[in-house]
Structure 1
Amino acid sequence: MDRFSLHGLTRRTFLQVSAAGVVTATVLGGVRDAAAAPYSKFTWISPRGTLEVLDDYGYWIGKKMGYFDDLGVDEELQPGPSDGTATVKFVDVGQADMGFPSPGIFAFALENGMKLKSAYHWGALDTFSLAFRKGEGTNDLKTLEGKTILLGSAAWQSIVDPMLAVHGVDITKIKYVEAGWPTWGTALAAGQGDAALAWEGLRAEWIGSGLDFEYWLGVQRSPLFANTYVVRAEDLEDPDKKAFLIKYLRAWSMGLEFATHNPMAAVDAVFQQFPSLASNIGPDLGAMSILQQSNVVRGDMSKRKGWGDHDMAAWQIFFDEIYKLKQVSNPIKAEDVCTNELIEAANDFDHEKVKADAAAYELPAELAAVDIDEVRSHLFDQAVS
Structure 2
Amino acid sequence: MSSTPFKDDRKRAYLNADGADKPLISPVPGDVLDRARAYRLSRLRREMAKHDVAALLLYDPVNIRYAFDCSNMPVWTAHNPIRHALILADGPAIMFEFAGCFHLSEGLPGIDEIRPSTAWFFMFSGDKAEGETAKWAAEIADLVRLHGGNNRRIAGDRLDPPGHTALLAQGCQISDGTEITEAARSIKSPDEIELMRWTLRVCEAGMARIYEHSIPGVTERELWAHLHFENARSGGEWLETKLLTCGPNTNPWYSECSDRPCKEGEMIAFDTDMIGPYGYCADLSRSWTCGYTAMTPAQADIYRTARDQIEHNTGLLWPGLSFEEFNAKSWRIPDRFIDRRYSLAIHGVGMADEWPCVSLHPDFNERSASGNFEAGMVVCVESLIGTESTECVKLETQVLITDSGIERLDTFPWERPLG
TM-score (structure 1 length as normaliser):
0.26
| Greater relative contact order (CA < 8 Å, ≥ 6 in sequence) | 1
Greater C-alpha Rg: 2
Q: Which has the higher strand share?
A: 2
TM-score (norm 2): 0.25
